[in-house]
């Protein structure tokens, strides 16, 4: 059974994986045998990522590339194929969020979120699919979100982008499933990262931060999730074990989407 979950001999490109969720997913794939390739928008971030991977015992390959730049993405994919090998697994992880009330958000700010969170996965997927067709196999994993299903104040652009990414996932499945290409989404819940650390800090009186209390109350697991908890689901979607799974969004959220929430006391 373990053979089905092996990523030995596979090249995995995880976008924006210098740190955070992308780094955790890439690290999990490396442990399953994959050769890891990642990009980031600045050389400084790529260099930090290389150091972090080395500290984890992973020999990763890093490239500077803006995933919104189609010509740059095409050039990067060609370079990866020459220097490392053709891409077998793509994880569209790079993304941004702007927490701004909708009526205070400019159209330019809205477009920026859509560009990074939706247009970029289209661009990168389009760059790797022809080679996957030629070789008769491929795995694409789009990092969606609970905001693919739910709305919340201040995240109109992010929710619109992630909802669109969910449907792009299903459409890639529909168009390219016949070539043995599986495209699925991974929908993380609320994850313990350096970016969310301030929201989890105890208040001076020892109480939880209001947002921390909100998340814990909405999650049946009654806790934030750890980045490494995304690795197993990602390896599954990248492996032969998921060959019959296509166009699916796997939510790794501690049960939030299944739960209406606690009754007020």
Query: Of 233, 248, 232, nearest to 183 (Cα)?
Result: 248
Cα–Cα distance list, 248 to 164, 212, 255 (Å): 14, 29, 17
Contact in structure between 136 and 179 (CB atoms under 8 Å) = yes
Identified catalytic residue from 53, 63, 158, 190 = 158
Would you call 158 a catalytic residue per the annotation?
yes
Catalytic residue ranges: 158
């Amino acid at each position: 059974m373990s053979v089905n979950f092996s990523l030995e001999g596979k090249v995995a490109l995880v976008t924006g994986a210098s740190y955070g969720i992308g780094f955790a997913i890439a690290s999990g794939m490396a442990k399953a045998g994959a050769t890891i390739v990642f990009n980031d928008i600045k050389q400084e971030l790529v260099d930090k990522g290389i150091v972090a991977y080395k500290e984890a015992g992973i020999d990763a390959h890093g490239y500077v590339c803006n995933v919104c730049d189609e010509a740059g993405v095409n050039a990067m994919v060609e370079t990866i194929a020459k220097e490392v090998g053709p891409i077998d697994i793509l994880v569209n992880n790079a993304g941004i969020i702007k927490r701004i009330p909708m009526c205070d958000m400019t159209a330019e700010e809205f477009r920026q979120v859509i560009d990074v969170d939706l247009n970029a996965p289209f661009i990168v997927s389009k760059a790797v699919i022809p080679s996957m067709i030629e070789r008769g196999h491929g795995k694409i994993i789009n990092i969606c979100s609970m905001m693919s299903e739910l709305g919340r104040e201040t995240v109109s652009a992010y929710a619109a982008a992630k909802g669109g990414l969910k449907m792009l996932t299903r459409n890639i499945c529909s168009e390219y499933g016949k070539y043995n290409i599986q495209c699925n989404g991974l929908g993380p819940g609320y994850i313990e990262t350096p970016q969310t650390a301030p929201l989890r800090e105890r208040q001076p009186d020892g109480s939880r931060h209001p947002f921390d209390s909100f998340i814990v109350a909405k999650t049946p697991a009654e806790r934030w999730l750890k980045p490494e908890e995304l690795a197993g689901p990602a390896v599954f979607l990248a492996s032969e074990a998921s060959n019959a799974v296509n166009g699916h969004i796997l939510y790794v959220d501690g049960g939030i989407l299944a739960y209406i929430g606690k009754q007020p006391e």
